[in-house]
Amino acid sequence: MNVLTARRGITLACLAVAMARGAAAQAIPAEPLSKGTLAFDGSATLGAFTGTTTTVKGQLLGAATILAVSGWVEAPTHSLVTGNGKRDRDMYQSLEVEKFPTMRFDLVRVDAGGSQGDSIAVTLHGRFTIHGASREAAVAGWVWLRPGTIRVRAVWPMDVRDYGIGGLTKMLGILRMDPKIVVRIDVTFGS
């Protein structure tokens, strides 16, 4: 590598950091959730499956920068569907949807990382409340800031036993669901 190539690489790295900091320093308006999807990937004795809902609501509270933003996102537990009626009934029973009708994430703060193209890597700090149990969480994701909209996508592992969710075995243990799932969220605030 010659000196000119090394200088260009350092310049590009500095520019990327400056762009991420500049985007992170941008004022964030208060915006209601306009659309969203919450999903999870699970596995069981009879194979892998996905549960999903688009019945999601929330609010992003405005802040001087993305680092100070807060807000919340929630979905009715009975709105999750897997495409298998029997599995859905078992899931609703395990989630005790009548007793715990919502699942929620309350965002407390955001840590911004580097940028890639028009997105900023972030860590979302907050609290999940599922099945009546609340747990602190730090979730890695990406944010896209565009005029009038803020999109957030994240994927993270979760152990449902941390939230007191049981009933993961059926037929005397012959059928089992793995308590470790992967949660995915894709939400847009604003128009």
Domain containing residue 57: CATH number: 2.40.128.110
Q: Is the per-residue pLDDT at 145 higher than 70? A: yes
pLDDT of the residue at 18: 37
Mean of pLDDT values over 35-54:
93
Q: Is the per-residue pLDDT at 88 higher than 70? A: yes
Q: In the chain, pLDDT over 90 holds for what percent of residues?
A: 63
* Encoded amino acid at 120, one letter: I
Residue 55's domain comprises 3-190
Q: Can you tell me whether residue 178 is helix, strand or coil?
A: coil
Mean of pLDDT values over 41-56:
92
Which value, to the nearest 10 degrees, does the dihedral of the CA atoms of residues 131, 133, 136, 141 take? 0
- Assign 118 a pLDDT band (cuts: 50, 70, 90): confident
Cβ–Cβ < 8 Å for 122, 112: yes
pLDDT of the residue at 176: 83
| Rounded Cα distance, 133 and 129, in Å | 5
* Encoded amino acid at 51, one letter: G
Tokens, residue 23? 């985007």
Cβ–Cβ < 8 Å for 41, 181: yes
| Phi and psi at residue 110, to the nearest 5° | -130, 135
Query: DSSP 3-state helix, strand, coil percentages of the chain (rounded to 5)?
Result: 25, 55, 25
Please state the domain count of the chain. 1
pTM: 0.81
**∠ CA 165-167-173 to the nearest 5 degrees?**
140
Which residue from 50, 58, 116 is spatially nearest to 83, judged by alpha carbons? Answer: 50
Q: Name residue 121's beta-bridge partners.
A: 142
- What is the chain's mean pLDDT, rounded? 85
pLDDT of the residue at 4: 39
Tokens, residue 72? 């919340």
- Assign 57 a pLDDT band (cuts: 50, 70, 90): very high
Cβ–Cβ < 8 Å for 155, 40: no
Predicted confidence (pLDDT) per residue in 9-26, tens digit: 333 333 333 334 445 557
- Which residues, other chains included, contact 53 with Cβ-Cβ below 8 Å and sequence gap of 6+? 37, 38, 39, 75, 76, 79, 80, 81
- Assign 166 a pLDDT band (cuts: 50, 70, 90): confident
